[in-house]
Amino acid sequence: MRRTSRRLADGREILYFDEKPDAPERVAVDTRDLPPVAAASEIRLDPLTGEWVAMAAHRQTRTYKPPADLCPLCPSKPGKPSEIPESDYDVAVFENRFPSFAQGVPGERSTLDGASLVPVAPGRGRCEVVCFTSEHDGSFAGLNPGRVRTVLDAWADRTSFLSTVDGVEQVFPFENRGEEIGVTLHHPHGQIYGYPFVTPKTERMLEVARAYRAEHGRPVLGDVLAAERASGARVLAEGRYWTAFVPPAARWPVHVQVVPHRQVPDLPELTGAERDDFAEVYLRVLRSCDALYGRPLPYIAGWHQAPVHRDRDLGWLHLELFSVLRSPDKLKYLAGSESGMAVWINDATPEQIAERLRSAI
């Protein structure tokens, strides 16, 4: 793989990840007249839960459902410059023009209204966009294993870099797919957030992992993985280095975890063989998801990685995919119990979900 770093018209970085070393040199210039990015996000600590909440009001003006011929993630064409100046690409990564977190955010740590109850800090971090393919009408499920490997290498590269960015405490690569999820750009892409804090979900998972190890002397996800492989009731796909299964307490109508057989804290720690095997296993999962209802499944898929600076011995890298679609034309809405109290009520058992996905393909 060849990696090339360039700059967009407003100074943001763009990187090209080419699968072939003899691919065209990435020298195209961004000809747009763009104002500098002016991110003004801040984070506030909820005094009742101890969780950080981000405020990013400047994102109200971000691009919203443009027509296909004006897609900002397609390669640039004569008279139609986009976020990607090249006329073609394999995988491209660039700094988000409307970031939730950014390095240039002004301000200092303080408290709300001058009292000590609610700490406030600048939302300093970094947000990047990852384009999986130059094909506007493609999908991650439609990629070949080689391209999935390139995307995985790009995720690992960005995780390594973002882990060195000032203030970043956790790196989260993820993909939102489908209008039902809230996607406003249909080109196949994902994002990477470099958070200025460890996220609430990760904090809770670390607490559980720490307590389980203290009691049993083993990692909890390792025992879950072993139990799922032994049972097979919820397993969807298995390779030499990865297993995909519906979690035993699945929250969503479609809910899958893809777990490596070896404990590693994050993507950069995966070997080449593990990366290749992930591509095969994950593509089987995605294709069964798209076959489930005979239509492209809207989903969120994200990587759980260990924090950058602490508890790396407790983390066990894995990918989680879930969907709000509970039938071909019905959504699972997060209503009172889920949204109000974070108590999930699923309309199907994990065993039923697994059987439906296995049967779909």
Q: CA angle 306-7-4, nearest 5°?
A: 65
Task: Compute the average pLDDT of residues 216-221.
Answer: 98
φ/ψ of 336, rounded to 5, equals -55, -50
Q: Can you give the pTM of this predicted structure?
A: 0.96
Burial class (CB in 10 A: 0-12, 13-18, 19+), 199: middle
Beta bridge partners of 173: 192
**Most confident range, picked from 57-66, 106-115, 309-318:** 309-318
Domain at 2-198: CATH code:
3.30.428.10
Q: Encode pLDDT of 8-21 as tens digits.
A: 999 999 999 999 98
Per-residue pLDDT at 40: 85
> How far is the CA of 59 from the CAs of 37, 39, 100, in angstroms?
11, 8, 7
CA 221 – CA 305 distance, rounded (Å):
13
What is the band of 61 on the pLDDT scale with cuts at 50, 70, 90?
low
As annotated, the residues of the chain forming the CATH 3.30.428.10 domain(s) are: 2-198, 201-360
The CATH classification number of 201-360 equals 3.30.428.10
In this predicted structure, the answer to whether residue 252 has a pLDDT above a threshold of 90 is yes
pLDDT tens-place string over residues 38-60? 888 999 999 999 999 999 877 76
117: confidence class by pLDDT, cuts 50, 70, 90: very high
pLDDT digits (tens, 9 = 90+) for 311-335: 999 999 999 999 999 999 999 998 8
- How far apart CA 41 and CA 101 sit, in angstroms, is 6
Catalytic residues: 189
